[in-house]
Structure formats: C-alpha cells, structure tokens
Amino acid sequence: MASAEFNPHDAIAWPFFEARHRALAAGIEAWSHEHLAHVPHDDVDATCRALVRKLGDAGWLSYGVGGTAYGGHGDTIDTRAVCLLRETLAKHSGLADFALAMQGLGSGAISLAGTDAQKSRYLPRVARGEALAAFALSEPEAGSDVAAMALAARADGDDYVLDGEKTWISNGGIADFYVVFARTGEAPGSRGISAFIVDADAPGLEIAERIDVIAPHPLARLRFTGARVKRSQMLGVPGEGFKIAMRTLDIFRTSVAAASLGFARRALAEGLSRAASRKMFGQTLGDFQLTQAKLAQMALTIDSSALLVYRAAWLRDQGESVTREAAMAKWHASEGAQQVIDAAVQIWGGMGVQSGNTVETLYREIRSLRIYEGATEVQQLIVGRDLLKAHAGA
Ligand SMILES: Cc1cc2nc3c(=O)[nH]c(=O)nc-3n(C[C@H](O)[C@H](O)[C@H](O)COP(=O)(O)OP(=O)(O)OC[C@H]3O[C@@H](n4cnc5c(N)ncnc54)[C@H](O)[C@@H]3O)c2cc1C
C-alpha cells in the first residue's frame, strides 16, 4: 500500500518497498539537496575523502555494512536500501554515489565472510567513514576473465606473501585497505583463489600508477612485491575467494544498475526542463512530436530499468539467489541509461556537449558502468547460461 506522502504513480510506492525504504528515500533526497549542490571536481582524492566522511557522519554508509554489532544498519546488507541510496546520490552527484558505493563494495566481502575479529577491526570504521575501502579483483590480463588472475599468494609460516599486480582499482591510492583476490593454488581456475584484507601500508604494496578516466575518480594500478599478509587476514577458507567475490558482486551489481537509473532520471529531468523552455520555430522544443517521442522513450527505459533493479534487490532481500536478475538489471539499466543520457544531450543541442553542463557530465559518468563489475556482454552470457541450465534441469 502506498504511503500518503508518496504519489502512488512514483516507483517508491511499488510493493517492492517497505515503509522504512520510503522514509530512507525521502531522507537521502533531502540530504542530497542540502549537501551535494556544489561538489568540487578539481581534486577528486580530497573530494572523495570528504564525501566519505560526510556520508558516514550522516549514517548513510551503515546501510552498506552487514551487522549492527559492527556499525551496520541491519544484520545483513539491505539491498533495496543500498540501491535507493545509490539511485538518489547518482541523480545529484556521480562522485557522491562513487564514494558510497566503494565503501560497500570494498568492505562487502568482510561483511559476508569475515571473522568477528576482522569485522570488528574494519567495518565500524567503514560505516563511520573513517576508513576507505577498495575491492581489488581485476588484473591487466584478467578483467572479464577473472578466473585467469595471476597475482600469487604463497603461504610462508604465519604469513602469505603476495606477488603480482591489480589494476583499475577504484579508491586505489586513497584506500586504507584493499580486499585482494589472489591465487593460492588449491585447485586450477576459480577454485584456487583466496581473498585477503591488505592494509594500504603493508610493506611490499605500492601504487604503481594512477589512472585517469573520462569521469575522474580515484583509480590505480597496484603492485605487490613480496607483500606480507598475516594468515589471520584471509577471508573465509583457502580456495573460497572466487565465491566470496561473486557473492559480493551479486549485491553490488544490482546497485550499479540503481546508480545507472539515477543518472538516467537526472537526464530525463534535464531533458524535460530544456524541452519545455527552449524556443524555436515559433514554439517550444517540447511542442514537437519528435521531441515527445524521445521523452516517452526515455521514460519507458527508466521505468523498465527501475522494475528490473528493484525486482533483483527485493528478491535478494528475500534470501534468494539473484545472479540472473542482477545481471538483467545491470545490463538493461546501464545500456538504457546511456541511451537516455544521449537523448538528453541531443535535446540540449550544442549546450549538451559543453564541458560542465549536467548532461555532458552524465554522458561521461555513465560510460564505465557498462564495463565494470562485468561488461554488458558478460551479463548477457550469465543470463543465457542460466536460462539453459534451468531448461536442462526442468
Ligand atoms: C572506471 C572503472 C573502475 C573500475 N573499478 C574496479 C575496482 O574497483 N575493482 C576491480 O577489481 N576492477 C575494477 N574495474 C575493472 C573492471 O571490472 C574491468 O575493466 C572489467 O571487468 C572489464 O575487464 P577489462 O577492462 O580487462 O576488459 P576485457 O576483459 O579485455 O574486455 C573487453 C571487452 O570485451 C567484451 N567482452 C568481454 N567478455 C566477452 C565475451 N565473453 N564475449 C564477447 N565479448 C566480451 C566486453 O565488451 C568488454 O568490455 C574498473 C574499471 C573501470 C573502467
């Protein structure tokens, strides 16, 4: 039943949500208006550190952490809450969304598979915004093909010794710790990978390169040269790392779709305001049926993305496996947002490609979401394989 405060036609009135989600959505929207009107982009490291602190102080980061004893909002990560937070933040600021997302993704494996000691040491600081987290899975020769990773972790007494590289690591260079996936060799391929928490000041870990991308945020290539990590820093048991990575992605992949949705919603709002005000040929741009069709297509893409995002989030919150649903949501919402934003740029004409214009920023922000946490083609394969598996078992 929709709350009286909400328009029953708004997505937040859908039965996927509970009253607490509706309150959360209103709260983060109001907070974003107050705090994210002017987010500086000249020094992304400083901005991200400041945003993490602000988000922590306001309590928003606690939703991405599992376990109330460790600073989390609930006993498990509430996927719908994380998605609502990301959708709203993305509407207001790509960097604010990034800052929140990385705290969850970077610490997700600890929430899911950490010991009490590991959780107590890291999660409360993550939730308060006092420690920055990062998730280090990709390597120069192992991106989409994650199981091809080569970074080696060799047991040596009470330690593991790490040698190799990770690349495209968000928060690389500013993180306080990295959850690193490494080959420990219990079995070939994905069954021979383990996960470790590596503090940023671990001897033998260095930032080999800072990477610039079209929508700048802290990003780096990491080099491990005989980096020593205590056995007690391993997450789960040896050989379980790949499973832990996939469980983490099952939550946060849906939230990438939610962020895409937020970018698309902002693009539609910008497109509508320009279409309604731009005078041409004796009327306004929005009076032309060609424009109306464009706006209609944008709205259809947004609603279908929202349905897929919150189906996946709701299903996961019921304790169900969501590999197929999360893949569909990420695929459709990220590709759809790119089209919606492109249409908004077109509506804005020359101003749409002017540096600093909101739709120009969105055009750059959305691009990586079609690539990271599994490119669109990878999501398509996940869905296709899952369909065939279900068919074979039917
Ligand atoms: C901005 C940004 C932030 C990132 N942050 C992180 C992070 O924090 N942690 C982390 O571990 N990684 C991160 N990544 C890495 C990201 O996950 C990888 O870039 C992604 O998995 C793709 O790997 P790749 O770049 O090596 O491309 P490749 O694996 O070389 O793939 C190239 C392209 O091939 C296509 N493709 C892939 N598989 C198939 C297939 N089976 N059939 C046909 N075509 C296919 C896709 O179009 C893909 O884009 C980030 C990347 C970016 C761009």
pLDDT band at residue 1 using 50, 70 and 90 as cut-offs: very low
| Ligand 1 touching residue 98 (CB < 6 A) | no
Q: Which atom of ligand 1 is nearest to the CA of 136?
A: 11
Distance 140 CA to ligand 1 centre (A): 10
Distance 220 CA to ligand 1 centre (A): 15
pTM score, whole prediction:
0.97
| Structure confidence by residue, pLDDT tens digits, 303-343 | 999 999 999 999 999 999 999 999 999 999 999 999 999 99
Reply yes or no on whether the pLDDT at 389 is more than 80: yes
Distance 219 CA to ligand 1 centre (A): 14
At 3 the pLDDT is: 47
| Ligand 1 touching residue 168 (CB < 6 A) | yes
Distance 15 CA to ligand 1 centre (A): 34
Q: Which atom of ligand 1 is nearest to the CA of 373?
A: 17
306 closest CA partner among 9, 109, 15, 87: 87
Q: Which atom of ligand 1 is nearest to the CA of 370?
A: 49
Nearest-CA residue for atom 42 of ligand 1: 377
| Ligand 1 touching residue 138 (CB < 6 A) | yes
CA dihedral 345, 367, 81, 101 (to 10 degrees): -130
| Ligand 1 touching residue 143 (CB < 6 A) | yes
- 282 — alpha (psi -120 to 50), left (phi > 0) or beta? left
| Structure confidence by residue, pLDDT tens digits, 361-375 | 999 999 999 999 999
In one letter, which amino acid is 344?
A
pLDDT, mean of residues 272-290: 98
| Structure confidence by residue, pLDDT tens digits, 38-55 | 999 899 999 999 999 999
Token pair of 158 as six digits = 């009470």
Backbone angles phi, psi at 283, to 5 degrees: -145, -165
Nearest-CA residue for atom 30 of ligand 1: 143
Q: Which of 138, 196, 370 to mutate to test the pocket of ligand 1 (most atoms within 8 A of CB)?
A: 138
pLDDT band at residue 251 using 50, 70 and 90 as cut-offs: confident
Q: Give the other-Cβ count within 10 Å of 165's Cβ.
A: 21
| Ligand 1 touching residue 372 (CB < 6 A) | yes
CA dihedral 228, 231, 235, 236 (to 10 degrees): 150
Cβ neighbours of residue 189 closer than 8 Å, sequence gap 6 or more: 147
153, 160 Cβ separation under 8 angstroms = yes
Cβ neighbours of residue 265 closer than 8 Å, sequence gap 6 or more: 87, 91, 302
Q: Which of 144, 178, 246 to mutate to test the pocket of ligand 1 (most atoms within 8 A of CB)?
A: 144
Q: Which atom of ligand 1 is nearest to the CA of 134?
A: 8
| Structure confidence by residue, pLDDT tens digits, 92-136 | 999 999 999 999 999 999 999 999 999 999 999 999 999 999 999
Q: Give the other-Cβ count within 10 Å of 246's Cβ.
A: 13
pLDDT, mean of residues 215-225: 97
Nearest-CA residue for atom 13 of ligand 1: 168
Distance 372 CA to ligand 1 centre (A): 5
Burial class (CB in 10 A: 0-12, 13-18, 19+), 34: exposed
Alpha carbon of residue 73 to chain centroid: 18
| Ligand 1 touching residue 211 (CB < 6 A) | no
Task: Give the catalytic positions in this structure.
Answer: 373
| Ligand 1 touching residue 220 (CB < 6 A) | no
At 250 the pLDDT is: 84
Nearest-CA residue for atom 35 of ligand 1: 377
Nearest-CA residue for atom 36 of ligand 1: 377
Nearest-CA residue for atom 11 of ligand 1: 137
Nearest-CA residue for atom 32 of ligand 1: 144
